[in-house]
Amino acid sequence: MNRVHEITPSDAAPTEARELFDLTGRVALVTGGTRGLGLAIARTFASAGADLVIASRNEDACAEIATELETAGVRALGCPCHVGRWDDIERLVDTAYGAFGRVDVLVNNAGIAPVYETLGGVSEELFDKTLAVNLKGPFRLTALVGGRMVAGDGGSVINVSSTGAIRPTADIVPYAAAKAGLNAMTIGFADALGPTVRVNAIMPGPFLTTIANGWDMDVLGERTRTFPLRRAGIASEIAGAALYLASDASTYTTGSILTVDGGASWAMPGGGDGR
């Protein structure tokens, strides 16, 4: 007969906060880790003691960020990868496991939101590229790394979605569709990889990273005045959510989509999340 686990004194005992969020001895792989939200997450993980594998399409940027993170006293490896290409993903996974022997935390952060003038003008190439980077790549990477996590000591997968997934606007339809798929995939993989692997998503609103350079700041200002926090976010403000999901602080959290948007779920025209 199945029985509900009974709480014991050891279960209820508080754990030191520093221990809950300590990533010492763990290896994190972060895609899109050389700028924006991915870089902020990688820096925070390093400060919590994790070793890092940094992936992006820019080989020089990967090497530069890996060198920076090593100054924090952790091991770091830069590995160029186009996450829309499964051959690249397989090479990335083999490289990460070859260097560190394990991956404990996977952050699917890399994403693109190509601009188009009209929906009728969206080319097949643009559509396929958008879904490849934002959805197909994270699927393959989670399948490969998640499978190894299940066979090993478990782990945590964190997908970086967008509020565009639930509040799409006309200028981000393919991107929003891909992010909606990523939300669904988060829940599906949580079921597939449980109980030893947790899979969650962060759903950011507008963040002032490099992608914001193409935004109309007057429009942004008008919209953010309706937010409870009255502003857009800065990259470092995503890091706490990621650290929570990566660490032992979230051992009973899986299949969740955590919104980090200043209090208002909406999609910023021209790219949504500011990665």
Annotated catalytic residues are 175
Which residues neighbour 211 within 8 Å (Cβ) at sequence distance 6 or greater?
36, 113, 271, 274, 275
Q: At what angle do helices 36-47 and 59-70 cross, to 10 degrees?
A: 30
pLDDT, tens digit, 9 for 90 and up, residues 74-85 = 999 999 999 999
Residue 123's pLDDT is: 97
The answer, yes or no, to whether the previous bond of 114 is cis (omega within 30 of 0) is: no
Residue 269's pLDDT is: 46
CA triple 215-218-224, angle to 5 deg: 90
> DSSP letter at 271?
T
C-alpha of 30 from chain center: 7
Q: How many Å from the N-terminal Cα to the C-terminal Cα in the chain?
A: 48
Give the tokens for residue 220: 């942004």
pLDDT, tens digit, 9 for 90 and up, residues 97-123 = 999 999 999 999 999 989 899 999 999
Q: Where do the DSSP E strands lie in 68-184?
A: 76-80, 105-108, 155-160
Q: At what angle do helices 137-151 and 86-100 cross, to 10 degrees?
A: 30
Please name each of the domains of the chain with its CATH number. 18-260 (3.40.50.720)
Residues of the chain with pLDDT under 70: 1-15, 208-222, 224, 231-233, 264-275
pLDDT, tens digit, 9 for 90 and up, residues 197-221 = 999 999 998 776 666 555 556 666 6
